[in-house]
Amino acid sequence: MPSAPSDLRHCWHPDGGTSVYGILGFPVNHSLSPWLHRLFAAQQELDLVYVPFPVREEDIAAALAGLPALGIRGVNVTVPHKEAVLPLMQWLSAEARAIGAVNTICFTPSGMQGHNTDAPGFLRALERATGDGWRQYPATVIGAGGAARA
């Protein structure tokens, strides 16, 4: 499976029509992602909507297969699907491959591209808060899911 570019800009296509994005999970209605992405879109003056898609584990493959046909451009993935979607991707970023979990999927003409933004995002936040100083301290990770793997 070839690696996809780690740059996610190709998921964003402000082309004059409303772009649809969302988050897949179960349950997912408690997620703050729709609110955060709508706020970001408004601040950046992007014509997009971001909606929650509650998808049960047994329906994940069928849901992913149908989303591109509906014009959905990309989705974020949360529990319990981060690891389950991995084998359904046509391409994986180096981060998703190394972590063994996907939290962002871009639908392209070539197929589904799986990415993982958890580790780079976490490291960026640590570096903003501490510089490189955090590297000298031991750390404990609490959790066992895709974000903990990152």
In three state form, how does the secondary structure of the chain look? Answer: CCECCCCHHHHCCCCCCCEEEEEEECCCCCCCHHHHHHHHHHHHCCCEEEEEEECCHHHHHHHHHHCHHHCEEEEEECCCCCCCCHHHCCEECHHHHHHCCCCEEEEECCEEEEECCHHHHHHHHHHHHHCCHHHHCCCCCCCCCHHHHC
Catalytic residue check, 132: no
Options 82, 92, 115, 116, the catalytic residue:
82
What residues act catalytically? Answer: 82
